[in-house]
Structure 1
């Protein structure tokens, strides 16, 4: 078993020498098998191993039992262990989210906090197995998906690794018995309340019993082939796409529309993701509408998520973001466009005078872009701010922030002493061209501007040693690498 996992790790280049591997361990059968295997392979692969356990505050004494179990095992096996405790029911009510989604957020935060403490290159090991992969494929297939959705659970995906994805639950159970590895049962896994559990308890077993006993293994093999096909199509479409990149956008001429349809769709995926800075919320509907635009008359255009627009002109279809058409050499050929998100006709200045309340936590889609808000407790973590991500002192924000453009009377606090300056003056100081000032997204509380997106933020809300809660705002439309 360990040799098989070792070969799988090497084949997928999961762990390098001197890496720090943070293993997510709940105490259940899968995570305990993964932890034991990683411990046995640690010397051969020369990596550092730590455990992260998240106490969700949901299952009372059972959750306390899980925590004690994991801590005792780690102490016995001499593996450093950090437990992160959250009141998920309370946070769920506060954030107005379901407990499942809240749990996902706090687990992500726990790994981020541990990574910040480690201060080195990390890998996050998750204990998914073949059946987990099969359940995910079935779930996504039933909801509707492309190739990506059929191969989302990959052996290695950035810092996420899945060392036992090559193992079936049956093999894992046998390994636990053979090695006499203790483990515990999470009662929520027995409930049919969640869709994934219904697939696990009823649909997948029926496939294995009545169709093929190795259904999950065959689906894992298929997912690997789909992943290879998806990577190949992405590479091919990127090569095609280079020819049509123009300044700050893309200009798809007749030559592009002569390419095979699958290459056109993949090229549009890449183009729109590059302009948006994200892939979330971009769907087949958007790609199809852009392709259909080529068959329409000159002057037709559509509005897309993340402040993007596609426009038909005499020689082809232009794709760009609002506010960047001038620098891309695009002329204003029409005053109205069809918004495929709502089916309504919208004006270029549809956002003027309007505002959208930030959901904390949550995501808000607006003509000015998509904003995601998260909250976490501040314990001196390093602030890794980017151009389109800001950390703010949440306790100092007395009203719910809104997304909008500038208005008369707007101002910002510009220094620690609390001095203020008119927003227009701040924009001049930031050398923002006058023609773009009305289109810049702002995060505002009344007339006080907390953040000019892509530029400066209000000094009043910067993180300091007294900060207790942090509000992280992310603008999903800018270049996140800046």
Structure 2
């Protein structure tokens, strides 16, 4: 298996002579196997290796055990070891995000601190021993961060995102190399790693949270993937990983084409980036990627921008000059003569009515929308403010009045009720029914404004993200 990993590292140019590799080591089997393989690769390729462990402050004594295991193994294998502690639950509340997202954030911070601490120690050593000219120094060595993702992680991510609803980016592979991050064991499946741990007698810890089916990804890992391999195809995981790689290539191609489209039809202005009407007459899929690039350029990140935001910007073309919408991260889009201008709200002369900017809001629209993580908050039971499970919404939302075929789901069994039947049961006068506003996804009514919401979209303990929608044309009261 070592030869397979060595060939994979060389194929993708992951590690070269003189590199400094910071390996993320949790103590689990995947990361311990990766650390052992990298240690062995050092005998053939002269590079520096340092293990980085991040303690999340979540699993108590079990997490302390994991840290001690990694520390003692590194001492035995003569690998530099750095550990960083973070109170992730407290930070998640402070940052108003989920534990998983907060965990990613502190791990990024941990690697940044590790780089500074590692090179700080090297500089001290070099100062004390000037003969140590082979020591790696910041600015003279390429920095690599090694993570222990494997083929099963790729398959789990693909299935998870596919079931929740996603675009190509959500189906794309976890790449072997990107932005200084390398994944040396991505060519291996979970069973290959387990076999290697046993054969080489490598110590590792088991995270008890990975043994339960409390989390969606664990159910995919313990139930769905094994079932697919047993009853559909024994190579299902490998085939999904290969497909994800192909999707990744397609996604990168569309991103490049979108960038070319922005370069061709876009214009940098003092207030932001202007996209001419000709931009929107190009291939829709490519144009969508171009808009996403503009979002990223203006906000410095692409996270939280969705197809719904792209569609909302495109819809401005059908409106008169002067209409505008809010976007995440304090951005906005303005319909102008000849196209659409995207930029910061203040630069476009807009007040920041929605500080988080989690969802598009029209300045002339009486609806205010926000998206935020579910942290077990008390549900806002108000007549004109409703909370919905954002991740269950698969179609574009619209605000409109009734149309033939409209329906609601009225119980946990998924029973449908025609909107007209609902109006009759609620004793709403016939002369008022055509003026009642509805939040819809196609023909499915998510909320009868001033009335009930669709049972399918209610908040549950499994809800990850919440869509809050408030109708400002009505007066809220506690129900």
Q: Give the corresponding residue for 2:115.
A: 115
Q: Give the corresponding residue for 1:311.
A: 334
1:36 aligns with 2:36: yes
Task: Find the residue that maps to 1:255 and give its secondary structure.
Answer: helix
1:273 aligns with 2:275: no
Q: Give the corresponding residue for 1:82.
A: 82
CA contact (8 A) 2:324 2:362 kept: no
Cα drift, residue 166 of structure 1: 0.8
Q: State how far apart, in whole Å, the 2-side matches of 1:196 and 1:48 are.
A: 34
CA contact (8 A) 2:162 2:170 kept: yes
Q: Give the corresponding residue for 1:245.
A: 266
1:246-293 per-position Cα deviation (integer Å, ceiling 9, x unaligned): 232333334322211111111111122112222122111111122222
Q: 2:166 aligns with which of 145, 154, 160?
A: 145
Q: Give the corresponding residue for 1:11.
A: 11
Aligned pairs (5 A) from 1:149-188: 149-151=170-172, 153-188=174-209
Task: Find the residue that maps to 2:325 and give its secondary structure.
Answer: strand
Q: State how far apart, in whole Å, the 1-side matches of 2:100 and 2:296 are.
A: 28
Q: State how far apart, in whole Å, the 2-side matches of 1:98 and 1:323 are.
A: 29
Q: State how far apart, in whole Å, the 2-side matches of 1:86 and 1:313 are.
A: 47
Q: 1:345 aligns with which of 363, 367, 374?
A: 363
TM-score, with length taken from structure 1? 0.64
Q: State how far apart, in whole Å, the 2-side matches of 1:260 and 1:267 are.
A: 11
Q: State how far apart, in whole Å, the 2-side matches of 1:69 and 1:42 are.
A: 22
Shift in alpha-carbon separation, 1:231–1:112, aligned structure 2, 3 A: same
Structure 2 runs not aligned, ≥5 long:
120-137, 369-479
1:431-474 per-position Cα deviation (integer Å, ceiling 9, x unaligned): xxxxxxxxxxxxxxxxxxxxxxxxxxxxxxxxxxxxxxxxxxxx
Task: Find the residue that maps to 1:282 and give its secondary structure.
Answer: coil
Cα drift, residue 206 of structure 1: 1.7
Bigger shift: 266-275 or 39-48? 39-48
1:303-325 per-position Cα deviation (integer Å, ceiling 9, x unaligned): 22233332333433333333445
Q: State how far apart, in whole Å, the 2-side matches of 1:81 and 1:250 are.
A: 46
Q: State how far apart, in whole Å, the 1-side matches of 2:94 and 2:347 are.
A: 38
Q: Give the corresponding residue for 2:287.
A: 264
Shift in alpha-carbon separation, 1:284–1:9, aligned structure 2, 3 A: same
Task: Find the residue that maps to 1:43 and give its secondary structure.
Answer: coil
Cα drift, residue 90 of structure 1: 5.9
CA contact (8 A) 1:300 1:337 kept: no
The number of residue pairs the alignment matches comes to 341
Q: Give the corresponding residue for 2:235.
A: 214
Structure 1 runs not aligned, ≥5 long:
326-331, 351-482
CA contact (8 A) 1:52 1:83 kept: yes
CA contact (8 A) 2:173 2:241 kept: no
TM-score, with length taken from structure 2? 0.64
RMSD: 3.0
Q: State how far apart, in whole Å, the 2-side matches of 1:315 and 1:234 are.
A: 24
Cα drift, residue 342 of structure 1: 6.1
Q: State how far apart, in whole Å, the 1-side matches of 2:179 and 2:289 are.
A: 21
Cα drift, residue 95 of structure 1: 6.6
CA contact (8 A) 1:336 1:346 kept: no
Q: 2:248 aligns with which of 224, 227, 230?
A: 227
